[in-house]
Amino acid sequence: MDIRLTADETAFRTEVRDFLATHLTERLRAGARATPTVFAEPDIGREWQHILYEKGWLAYFWPVAFGGTGWTPMQRYIFEKECALAHAPELPGLSLKLLAPVLHRFGTPEQQARYLPRILSADDYWCQGFSEPGSGSDLASLKTRAVRDGDRWIVNGSKLWTTHAHFADHMFCLVRTNPDVKRQAGISFLLIDMKQPGIEVRPIMGLAGDHEVNAVFLDDVSVPADDMVGSEGQGWTIAKFLLENERGGSCHAPSLLADLDTLRAAASQAPADGGGTMADDALFIAALSHAEFAAQALETTELRILAEIAQGRPPGPQTSLVKLVASNLKQDIGTLAMRLWGPAGLQLPTERPLYGNAAPEPILNAAAQIAAPTYLNNRAWTIFGGSNEVQRTIIAKTVLGL
């Protein structure tokens, strides 16, 4: 396996860098830098989405038949890394990276024609309705019930931790259509219009005061039968396909390396106890270097996975290893940022967003202001997309054969 860039890949990287230099505005970069949550607020996320759409680079991981760019896995990686290093806002991954591949694989031609173009154009904003009270790690126990009534499904139940449901006009959702069979076999996958009677979205405020997740209540919600993806009872198969994409669809190293880049640059501006800057603090620099080595090792692993994907081999349980390492590293980087900024890192503004004209005035600077909210929001990394304990169980079973 050779993971060095070829001449063509180097030229491609230059093309991406040139594009970012001219099209990724300072407003968007500042917005992304000042976002403590996992997802970007829709205002900057959508603006960046439109720019990439115009360029034809938005669907960079979709098959060409559906409007994809036809890039190799390595080109996709280069693109993601350059976007991260340039502080581009996160794209709405729930629709672009999770739902779209499901529609490509399991959707009817009508569903593909109806939903995929509106995902690209950002006309539709999606949320993911999988988890429920008592059904997170043990997802197959979910209880939200859908009962067939003529050409519609009537849905009752509730979803929990639904990211950006307060912005979404659609939700892809797992529902129980048959309670009398093996629990996995009784689950189906529905596309639900959120703007209809019977849907209530209640906010859940995060530790840092961010409104990112919600509880969603469904009370006699009516869904056309045509909006079931796959067949009745195929939801678990589809969910497994989607969760594999959630855990392994994107590389984590680019954004971790970008975070570390930012920290290293900031070290020479952060005051140290007793004078000088944190760049002179040997213990801090050693800890930072340790995290950088870990991120570089993760990058090598991710590039190895990409090389395997390019050979047509599925990534398999390595995605669990990557998710586990990346989540821990993300939290370690958040801890380093708190250490870097010292007392100024303890400020916890309650206003949002932390960018734009109405943003609160930072103590010391914007990077110090974002440290505590990011640290607190990062707690979620070892929970969502399969908690660390769940990943370790997968690794124990599938890699170690325990």
Site string for ligand FAD, 2-41 (x = CB under 6 A): ----------------------------------------
The residue with tokens 């070290």 is: 267
List 36, 45, 136, 157, residue binding ligand FAD (CB under 6 A): 136
CB 130 → ligand FAD: shortest distance, Å? 3
- For residues 301 and 281, the answer to whether their CB atoms sit within 8 Å is no
Q: How many C-beta atoms lie closer than 10 Å to residue 381's C-beta?
A: 20
Residue 369 binding ligand FAD, by CB under 6 A: no
> Is residue 327 part of the contact set for ligand FAD (CB under 6 A)?
no
Nearest CA to 261 among 380, 367, 382? 367
**Residues binding ligand FAD: what is the number (CB under 6 A)?**
18
- Give the DSSP H or E segment for 127: strand 126-129
**393 Rama class: left (phi>0) / alpha (psi -120 to 50) / beta:** alpha
Stretch that binds ligand FAD, among 61-69, 127-135, 265-273, 311-319 (CB under 6 A): 127-135
> Hey, is 346 helix, strand or coil?
helix
The DSSP annotation for 22-81 comes to HHS-HHHHHHHHT--SSSPPHHHHHHHHHHHHHHT-TTTTS-GGGT-----HHHHHHHHH
Q: Is 130 in the site for ligand FAD (CB under 6 A)?
A: yes
* Shortest Å distance, C-beta 380 to ligand FAD: 4
Closest to ligand FAD by CB, 142 or 333? 142
Site pattern 207..246 for ligand FAD (x: CB under 6 A): ------x---------------------------------
In the complex with ligand FAD, which residue's Cβ is closer, 138 or 220?
138
Q: In this chain, which residue has its C-beta nearest to ligand FAD?
A: 136
Q: How many CB atoms lie within 10 A of CB 336?
A: 22
Of 313, 319, 299, 300, which Cα lies nearest the Cα of 390? 319
Cis, bond preceding 317 (omega within 30 deg of 0): no
Instruction: Check residue 161 for interaction with ligand FAD (CB under 6 A).
Output: yes
Sign of the four-CA dihedral 309, 312, 316, 318: negative
Q: Does 162 bind ligand FAD (CB under 6 A)?
A: yes
3-class SS of residue 370: helix
Return the residue of 35, 49, 131, 250 that touches ligand FAD, per CB under 6 A.
Answer: 131
Tokens 């067949």 belong to 231
Of 49, 128, 250, 378, the residue at the interface with ligand FAD (CB under 6 A) is: 128
Per-residue contact flags (x/-) with ligand FAD for residues 374 to 393, judged by CB under 6 A: ------x--xx--x-xx--x
Does residue 163 touch ligand FAD according to CB under 6 A?
A: yes
The answer to whether 111 touches 228, Cβ cutoff 8 Å, is no
Rule CB under 6 A: say whether 99 interacts with ligand FAD.
no
Selection from 236, 223, 235 nearest residue 148 by Cα:
223
Which member of 90, 212, 246, 299 is catalytic? 246
Q: Which is nearer to ligand FAD, 71 or 384 (CB)?
A: 384
Is 112 near ligand FAD (CB under 6 A)?
no
Residues 185-214 that bind ligand FAD (CB under 6 A): 213
Whether 212 sits among the annotated catalytic residues: the reply is no
Q: What amino acid positions are annotated as catalytic residues? A: 246
**Contact residues for ligand FAD, defined by CB under 6 A:** 127-131, 136-137, 161-163, 213, 380, 383-384, 387, 389-390, 393
